[in-house]
Amino acid sequence: MVCEICMDHKPYEETFSNPTCSHTHCNECITKHIASKLQENLTLIECPVPSCKQVIEIESCMPFLPKEVFERWSAVLSEATILGSNKYYCPFEDCSGLLEFVEGENINIKESECPYCNRLFCARCKVPWHSGFKCEEFEMKDDDDLFIKLAMEKKWTACPNCKFYVERKSGCDHMICRCLCKFCYRCGCPWKLEHSCK
C-alpha cells in the first residue's frame, strides 16, 4: 500500500486505515501526525488529509502507537472530559497535579490531600492548607497578615537583624539565627553576655 503522506510503499501490516474515512497512512506518519497535534493541545485529531474532517479514534491506533504518545493522548482526552469549572491544579508549584471538584459532592470537605504529592490543601480555597484559619478568615486576609497572626499564635520570634521568624522546639532562650545574629527567643532582643529578660 502507498502512504498518502510520505508516498512510500509500505507492507499492509505497517499501514493505518482510518475506519471513519478509509484514508491510508503508514504507522510512522500517522504517529508523527498525532504527536504534533498533541503538542498543539488538540483533543480531537482529524485525518491528516487536508480536505477530510473525519476524526481519528485513539482505539484504532492502539496497536502501533508508542507508549509515550498513547499515554499523552489518553491524558489529554481525560483532561478534556473534566468540565472547565470543575478542574483545577494542586496549589503546590512543584506538583500541579490535575484535580477535579464535583459540585454538590462532599461540599463540606475542605482539608484535602493531593493524590499526587500527598500534601494538604483546602478544596474550597484551592490553596495549601491554611491551618488555624477558617476559609472566610483566609479569604479576607492577605498572606502577610495571616503569617503574622500565625506567628503570634505560635509564639514565634523574629530575628532582630534579618526579621526571619524562628520557632524554638526545645532548649534555652539563646538563639543563633541563620544570619548568625544572636538574640533572646523570649524577648527578641540581641543577646548579650549578661542577658536577662523579665
User: In this model, does residue 85 exceed pLDDT 60?
Assistant: no
Q: Higher pLDDT residue, 4 or 197?
A: 4
Q: Which residue has the higher pLDDT, 79 or 111?
A: 111
Please say whether the beta carbons of 30 and 56 come within 8 A: yes
Q: How far is it, in rounded angstroms, from Cα 38 to Cα 69?
A: 8
Long-range contacts (CB closer than 8 Å, 24 or more residues apart) made by 169-173? 173/197
For 178, the grid coordinates are 541563620
Cell of 148: 503574622
- The domain spans of the chain are 12-81, 102-154, 157-198
Residue 2: all three cell numbers together: 502507498
CATH-assigned architecture of domain 12-81: 2-Layer Sandwich (3.30)
More confident of the two residues 62 and 131: 62
Q: What does the alpha-carbon distance between residue 83 and residue 71 come to, in Å, rounded to a whole number?
A: 20
Residue among 11, 49, 45, 50 at smallest CA distance from 27: 11
Rounded CA separation 175/116 (Å) = 37
Burial of 193 per CB tally in 10 Å (0-12, 13-18, 19+): exposed
Which residues have CB under 8 Å from 116's CB, separation 6+?
Answer: 90, 95, 97
CB neighbourhood size of 90 (10 A): 20
pLDDT grade, residue 101 (50/70/90)? low
pTM of the model: 0.45
